[in-house]
Amino acid sequence: MRRRRYAGVDAAAEEEWSMSYTVQEYHAYFTEEALRQVAEGIKDISDDDLHFRLHATSNSIGWDAWHIFRTVDNLVHFAFDREQPVWLQQGLDQRWDLPRVDQGTAMSPEEAWAMRFPPADQLAQYGQDVVDAVLPRITSMSDDYLQVVTHVVPWGDRTRLWILGKVITHSSKHLGYIAGGLGVRGLQGPSF
């Protein structure tokens, strides 16, 4: 799989790739793009910036990043194959005193707003580790595997292919929240 690199991207190679790819490469490429942009966007920010909430009803920048990383990690590892996510493999729930299983989907606003996250570079590293773990899995998924129906809260029964598409759109939504929060703080956020 030919993947985009953000520094020194070869435009001709990028154009060639965009014209010929498998559905697995497509999903891996855009999953990587969303997660790496989040990780790159937060890795050097302060604790105050990580915990900044754009509005009284918004989640923090850290919560949005954590939620994206945890959701992708949990879906690709646990929901699809009942395997332990990177989150638990690394013991981050205990190390950071954050929920073991919950990744924020059914969390009350008050719960989400009260969460405190580790330094941004550590949270960003978890995101990078998720990328490194899920990309080979996604690219090796067969077409038949992608058509298996899996039950995922809150979406219900969906094919793994549909779920991977939702991962991309859902991650992009939270990427936008992060970019907006960082922009208001006068920081360069991830770009789309």
Averaged pLDDT, 136-141: 97
Distance CA 108, CA 166 (A): 22
Q: Is the pLDDT of residue 13 over 90?
A: no
pTM: 0.88
Q: Is the pLDDT of residue 15 over 70?
A: no
Domains and CATH numbers, the chain: 23-184 (1.20.120.450)
Q: Is the pLDDT of residue 187 over 80?
A: yes
CA angle, 59 as apex, 173 and 50 as ends, to 5°?
95
3-class DSSP state of 60: strand
Task: For 94, list phi and psi in degrees, rounded to 5.
Answer: -80, -45
Q: Is the pLDDT of residue 1 over 50?
A: no
pLDDT band at 5 (very low <50, low <70, confident <90, very high): very low
Give the per-residue pLDDT at 17.
Answer: 55
- Per the prediction, the chain carries an average pLDDT of 90
Distance CA 6, CA 76 (A): 24
% of the chain at pLDDT higher than 70: 89
Looking at per-residue pLDDT, the higher value among 121 and 11 belongs to 121
24 class by beta-carbon count within 10 Å (0-12 exposed, 13-18 middle, 19+ buried):
buried
